Chains A and B, each alone.
Chain A
Amino acid sequence: MKSKLIFSILVMLGIGLSSVSALPYYEPASLVMFPFYTVGDSNTNLILTNTNNVEGTIIRVTFINYFDQLKSVSCQEFNQDFYLTPNQQIKLMLSDSLYTGSTGFVAVTAINPDGSLKDFDYLAGIAFISDIQVTPYVYDNYNGIPFKKISNNPEYDNAGIIMFNETYTALPEKLIEDFYSTIDPEYSTTKFAIIPSEDPTEPNLPSYNLFSFVNGNVNMEFENYIWDNNEYYTSDYSESETCGLYLYINDIFNSRKTNSGWIEFTRNKDATPGITAGYNIGGIKIFTDLVDRQYLGVSNLHREGYQQGKLRISNSPASPSVTSLLSG
């Protein structure tokens, strides 16, 4: 009976692989975003899985750094193509391919051999972040944020343009962290990494750069509700010429040493006239307890609301070394 049951499940998986709808948990998707990687004293291990039983795919893994300590540059793009056979999983230790001292985010997309975006809602990913600020060595993991392909539009797909809420599932209107603390940095640190998107209604953006809004500002409004008395704060934080935000919580609440509550991260699109930017794609919180239990807590920010946005990745044909696997 056992073997029959298991074989039946294999049959079901083999034939009816696909999810029938997007649901409120981490489903495999055509685009998986990792808001944060780090290489250097800390390190990142990306694990990418093709959950399809019968079909392989080419994936384009695009790294964009928030800041490269060694080269003192930011928003540099670097991509690698891989071919994932059915059920294949790959591990990428990012220190093997990225400069020490760099931090940034990662976009993993299913692509066709010509470089166009592919409808392939079977990619799942998880990132292990290690941190040696504390001893002994600690790490935590977080899931890549999935975005399913919901329609095909050659105009966008061939150009490598991801249109959230049009060709891919929607972006959140707000990112929310429900459990923060700003205490003495000697004892713990809380950082946030947040990826913004382009304004999809802006027609005049150059097309050559992955994040062509890099000359714009990342303006965010932070709303802070203190849980014990509903005390309410709003603070703005802005940073220009960046393709992502990586900041300490004490940069936001530098006047308060100790408090806890929750924060909404909302893009304030009107904060700087003439600057266009879309909503945030996603973000994570990185909490490091340096003294008490000494651990690292990395988790995705919660989301609320649905918005449009745009993201570009390179649409160059897939690497010949990868496409050769298809013909073989």
Chain B
Amino acid sequence: MSNKDLGKKIQALLVFSLAIIFLASAVSAENITQTPDQDVQQLPMSIPTLSTFSAHKDAVPDEAGSFLVYPYYASSINMHSSSFTQISITNTGDKEVIVKLLFVDGSNCLVSDNYLTLSAHQSTFFSASDYVPETSGFLIAYAVNNTIDNKPAKYNHLIGSARVSAVISGVYCDGEYNAYTFKALNYDYPLLSLTFDNDHFEHWPNTLMAPGILPLPEDYRQFVILVTPSFDMLQNNLVMLVYDDAEQVYSAMSTFTCQLVKVINDDFPRTAPRFDTVIPAGRSGWMRLIKVNDNGAAPMLGLLMTCGQTTLGGIEQIHGACFSNGCQNATLSGGFQ
């Protein structure tokens, strides 16, 4: 037997063994029971099937919708601190619409609400500091039927973007991003709740993929920003899988509440070995981010923001997807009514 044949056989054996291990662990994981002292609950481990492709032909990013999420704003009325976010909302439809704004303070998850009315085809922009000075957090904007009962309306003609000039942890972050948009689907308005189940509203992703993790010069930083559809201070468990340019995977965990804003460094994601060793200068990598709860991977959205000591911009939505058994439903609660 030649060395090449032997190598192929060993390779096949390894692949087969790994597959058996994966399957066995998946099955055994189903039987894992949670003990009271466990701080993280296990994922549901039914063995997912391979892709049963049922793509919607019409679902694409950046479409107009009824519900917008701006994952990050920073506001300051102090000109010297130079944190500033200009929010844009546009009504691309031919009817007047009332938009409810929920500014969620990222430090304590408290919600400050407001309304604005957009006439047909109107675009407006405002500074976040006009509404919530000296805070940072995330903004939700959605169409409502009226300002009395606050029922969400089906009006899939809203788009938005944000232009950020902020100072975070001593570095300048300048750039702009499009708001995430979610369509209201099969219900006649007024909708009864903000439920993201692909029936009322489109799903949120349950896994995020940040494709452009770059080792940057000393004066530059990359930030990961995550938000969840909740306004409470409950801790969410976050699992991060970091891939280096040799496709090696390193894992790390963290927790956050309604919003996470973290600079990527040796402390986040806290891999072993540390991040600077995993992705050293001159190399690149990417990262999966998965928020987990009792039922498995849970919904969240995010931004990847690149900042520098001098002016340097770069803010973009992090790629999202639903892996395994698909996205969990999410209901926005505690503050939207």
Contact = CB atoms under 8 A, between A and B. Distances in A.
Interface in B288-337: 288, 290, 292, 296-297, 301, 304, 306, 310-327
Given A16-B49, A140-B176, A297-B176, 18 more contacts: A2-B253, A8-B25, A14-B22, A17-B323, A18-B53, A19-B51, A23-B203, A24-B60, A24-B65, A24-B180, A25-B61, A25-B301, A141-B315, A143-B317, A178-B160, A230-B119, A232-B121, A262-B90
B323 A18 contact: yes
B122 A227 contact: yes
Top 4 A-B pairs, shortest CB-CB distance = A16-B48, A18-B51, A295-B174, A178-B90
B56 A21 contact: yes
A172 B63 CA distance: 9
Contacts of A262: 90, 92, 123
A85 to B, nearest CB: 6
A230 B321 contact: no
A179 B284 contact: no
A47 to B, nearest CB: 5
A67 B178 CA distance: 28
A21 B121 contact: no
Contacts of B159: 176, 178, 302
Nearest to B292: A5
B103 to A, nearest CB: 19
Nearest to B302: A25
Interface string B252-282: 0100000000000000000000000000000
Interface in A97-155: 119, 121, 124-126, 128, 134, 136-143, 145-146, 148, 150
A24 B204 CA distance: 8
A134 B312 CA distance: 11
Contacts of B50: 15-18
Contacts of B311: 134, 136, 138, 293-295
A121 B322 CA distance: 12
Given A126-B316, A261-B123, A300-B178, A16 B56 contact: no
A11 interface: yes
Majority secondary structure, A binding face = mixed
A292 to B, nearest CB: 9
B232 to A, nearest CB: 22
B194 interface: no
A91 B52 CA distance: 31
Given A12-B43, A22-B59, A297-B176, A28 B310 contact: no
Interface stretch (B34-42, B108-116, B136-144, B223-231): B34-42
Contacts of B22: 11, 14-15
Contact of B211 (A2, A125, A170): A125
A7 interface: yes
A23 B210 CA distance: 17
Nearest to A7: B25
A304 B92 CA distance: 9
A109 B89 CA distance: 34
Given A26-B317, A297-B175, A88 B247 contact: yes
A124 to B, nearest CB: 5
Interface string A300-320: 111110100000000000000
B251 interface: yes
B77 interface: no
A299 B243 contact: no
A86 interface: yes
Contact of B26 (A15, A143, A230): A15
Contact of A303 (B63, B317, B325): B63
Contact of A5 (B40, B60, B214): B40
Given A89-B211, A141-B212, A11 B290 contact: no
Contacts of A23: 56, 59, 202-203, 205, 320-322, 327
A8 B45 contact: yes
Given A5-B239, A230-B122, A295-B175, A28 B319 contact: yes
A230 B124 CA distance: 11
A307 to B, nearest CB: 10
A4 interface: yes
A20 interface: yes
Contacts of A306: 57-58
Contacts of A150: 53, 55, 57
A49 interface: yes
B247 A26 contact: no
B239 to A, nearest CB: 5
A237 interface: no
Contacts of B168: none
Given A89-B243, A230-B121, A306-B58, A25 B317 contact: yes
